[in-house]
Structure 1
């Protein structure tokens, strides 16, 4: 067995596991580098199930990264949002994967304990057996079942469930972008759901709302305030981030703002604005994800 080729074949799966556990592409890439070094030190011909073995290595490294990051995030300025990643549109064809990558889901996963998060992701997204999850997390299978059960209850209470046709989502997104760029308050309010919520992440490094902006009128005025402050050499481009429609605003050839758009039927229900420059490195190149 060629260890390098085996790792490369499983890389989309391994990156996705690491990203969904850590919430950042940068940490996920670090996890994969460390995991590859560990994988290179073993005899692959002695491994019966490379997928499970590699997932175990990546899960353990991801948990270490997440626990370290948790301490840093306690002092984070304003809302903490995941690092958006550029994905291919066909990722949305896998409903389970697309749902797990959504900002709404990743924000909820932040409120789980690291062990709950890892167990939930490995079971509900990647369908690993409880015994393999136990080996990856250092728990018993019975303890893993409890972790997954509690995580599912937590996620179900806090995550909205939408069944939106791709064409309807694109129509809503196009209307939203046109209204925002055109400075039309009424058009923005028409496309925004009355209870829509906007979260903005600047990390204390750039200007951003430090509290959620709630309601169509408040969000419309907030967005038009941003639109009224054009950046030099500004470009607005459609994107597909985390299996969701989005726009990326660049200035001077560098991404300045990523806006991930959550829609339900004919309205935008959630907006996630990422401005922290440390979190915009993964919006330019597409990541290959998989289960």
Structure 2
């Protein structure tokens, strides 16, 4: 566990986003930055991952805001992300159903939906509607579709680890198509246990209608990622017993990559130089990658 130097600038962008969405004044903003800088200086980034820093910073920002422990800094943004994504549901569902390769188009739409990520872009710099309108223009730098399709056809249990609000609307469309091609498949979707950045929690999942296509649970993770040792017993049982595991987004990719499990399939958009280096895929491209192909950096 260590935080690469290249991740520091992204951490500070996240802190700036927290300042903006929580409305912290100058003094409180300085205290938030000093809090995270102290963690990095004291540890030199060793024994930590970025997800630890972001969780701690989120807790500190909530405390400094004085808005109470239940305050979700990105709550309004997540709700709007779901609302915006839902406006495109009929268009993309029709595209999938009219396609000669519906499952392939469904996974492409789910992958492209990973653009909705305020963990990789500062709040205010992401035009969700514009991004979704150009979703068909995205290309894949890695596309292990044949193996995913084969395993899904043989599977009895699928664990789908979700990422962001808004994005989960397109996960729902993908799961609809997975279940249409494999009606007996048991599907469980896992979301975060607590709000962090714009990652989906149970309330976000219900707004997107995920409960209509899968059993929806909390993974027990309080991080923008999945550190298996810090998830719930229920989630780890599901993880161990699943025939196929789909992991959405950069945070899950970062934290699950070293599991090196061939049941895992990572679906994400490469959003930074560090992830491009780690995956071998160019920044901006989409990824559908089977686990076990890469050695963790």
Larger relative contact order (CA 8 Å, sep ≥ 6): 1
Q: Provide TM-score, normalisation by structure 1.
A: 0.28
Larger Rg: 1
Higher strand proportion, which one? Answer: 1
